[in-house]
Amino acid sequence: MPTHETGKPFALVGYFDTPAQLYHACEKLRDAGYKKFDCHAPFAVHGLERAMGVGPSRLPWIVLAMGIVGFTAAITMQWWMLAVDYPMNISGKQLFPIPPYVPITFELTVLLSAFGCFFGMWGLNLLPMYFHPVMQHPSFHRATDDKFFVAVECKDPNYNAERTRRLLEEDGAQELLEVES
């Protein structure tokens, strides 16, 4: 997460009226070789990540791992508890019958995968984070309503206050301001 000493400019933030404008702007930023920039939209604009040149999420791997944990945990638990730790003759059945153990194994696999999915996502997004410099933009509250924000970080090597501003304005970016970190 960006460490910010106040006073230093953090990023150039502005917004568009339509997803289309944002999309084009991002394509241009991407082609101009910008890396450190982000978009803030009220909903997930389809395909925008391609326009931004952002790679696919790593979340699935986390989920897979948790799923495997859940599965093995379930099998081990049921086997150890009923066949090893406290074996009992129940209805003359085997101590380790597979079929009756399927449902719980399934459920635990799903449960842990879901946990992986949920917490993994927040982890990857570094959320919760209750303050972020872009939030200082006076109109930023509309980022969750009807405006489509773009924020180009000053740290980006290609960043140049003038050029970047012009590049964005061409696509109709409004209220372009440098927010301090």
Considering only the stretches 2-10, 116-124, 153-161, 163-171, report the one whose residues sit in contact with other proteins under the rule CB under 8 A: 116-124
Q: How far is the CB of 167 from other proteins (least distance, A)?
A: 18
* Distance of alpha carbon 97 from alpha carbon 109, whole angstroms: 19
Kindly state the tokens that stand for 97.
């019958």
- Smallest distance, Å, CB 140 to other proteins? 8
Residue with tokens 């984070």: 129
Segment 45 to 84, residues that bind other proteins, using CB under 8 A: 45-49, 51-52, 54, 56-57, 59-60, 63, 77-78, 81-82
Q: Does 158 participate in binding other proteins (rule CB under 8 A)? A: no
**Residue from the set 7, 91, 157, 162 that interacts with other proteins by CB under 8 A:** 91
- Could you tell me the smallest distance in angstroms from the CB atom of residue 84 to other proteins? 10
151-176: burial string, b at 16+ Cβ within 10 Å, e else: bbbbebeebeeeebbebbeebbbeeb
* Interaction of residue 143 with other proteins, rule CB under 8 A: yes
15, 131 Cβ separation under 8 angstroms: no
Among 9, 65, 68, 101, binds other proteins (CB under 8 A): 101
The continuous run of DSSP H or E covering 30 comes out as: helix 19-31
Count of residues that bind other proteins according to CB under 8 A: 74
